[in-house]
Amino acid sequence: MSKTEKYLITIVGPTAIGKTALGIQLAQHFDTEIISCDSRQFYKEMAIGTAVPSVEELKTVKHHFIQHKSIFAPYSVGDFERDAISKLEAIFKDHNVAIMVGGSGLFVNAVLNGLDEFPDVPEEIRKDLNLLYEQNGITALQEKLKVLDPVHYKKVDINNPQRVTRALEVCIASGQPYSDFLNKKKTERPFRSVMVGLTADREIIYRRINQRVDIMVENGLIEEARKLFPHKTLNALQTVGYRELFSFFDDTFTKEFALSEIKKNTRRFAKRQLTWFKRNEETLWFDYKTPAKEIIQHIEAIQKKPAL
């Protein structure tokens, strides 16, 4: 490998598949550092419900962007792109390889390809949509998006009011579907990208998700969510695992139903993650049980090939 050629190895895949463990193994092999690209692990108040790496794992390899923000401080994908690129520049001064681990497709894409350019949205449009949401709930937003942008409607997390509202803002402000603005151009980066995906049969993914939720509850998820309940309207808390427990706390759900909803919604989230990441035809996909040594061999074979 050339001393001047830099590589960003990105590990993607559904939640609970083992990305953290593989990231650490690769970072140890390449003697480098890890950038976390999980948009909910950024927040220090959300440790249990976001399955942040353990203290032992964090000590093993240097991690960045783990619990470095507060839920009270807005942190956008644009903010992360800027910070992550700056951190990569610093890592690449001493290393030829960096590792990025994450399940947040939008944030991964921002680092690898840059952000798409969207039109400015007048404040009155934003206010009108917020009022629609307050008065009629998320169903009204969903129905509106289905009409204005049926393509994005099928891809977006339809239960996330922030994501749906953002798409509607662009549709209304521009008069064009939100999806028309996506993936217009690729930003050139001073590194080569290698995408590694972990997957498994659906039944295995679902079982691992159910087990993870049970472990989170044992570790204090309900108590963590209860402390955050007074701030439930914050954007960072519009997250699977917290939303359902908030409904339990306000007596909309029973405890048992809330926990079953967490598992169900996490399974749906994992399905969306796979759909997003499968779009990249260059991703090297491996079964979650594949030894790290075998994955490393594939990566090093790519490194030996000249850039196109």
Question: Residue 18, annotated ligand binder?
Answer: yes
Question: Residue 103, annotated ligand binder?
Answer: no
Question: Residue 20, annotated ligand binder?
Answer: yes
Question: Residue 15, annotated ligand binder?
Answer: yes
Question: Residue 291, annotated ligand binder?
Answer: no
How far is it, in rounded angstroms, from Cα 31 to Cα 111?
21
Question: Residue 48, annotated ligand binder?
Answer: no
Question: Residue 184, annotated ligand binder?
Answer: no
Tokens of 87: 């951190």
Q: How far is the CA of 288 from the CAs of 40, 161, 196, 271, in angstroms?
A: 23, 32, 11, 16
Question: Residue 14, annotated ligand binder?
Answer: yes
How far is it, in rounded angstroms, from Cα 240 to Cα 15?
12
Please report, in range form, the residues annotated as the binding site for ATP: 13-20
Annotated binding-site positions for substrate:
15-20
State the binding site. 13-20
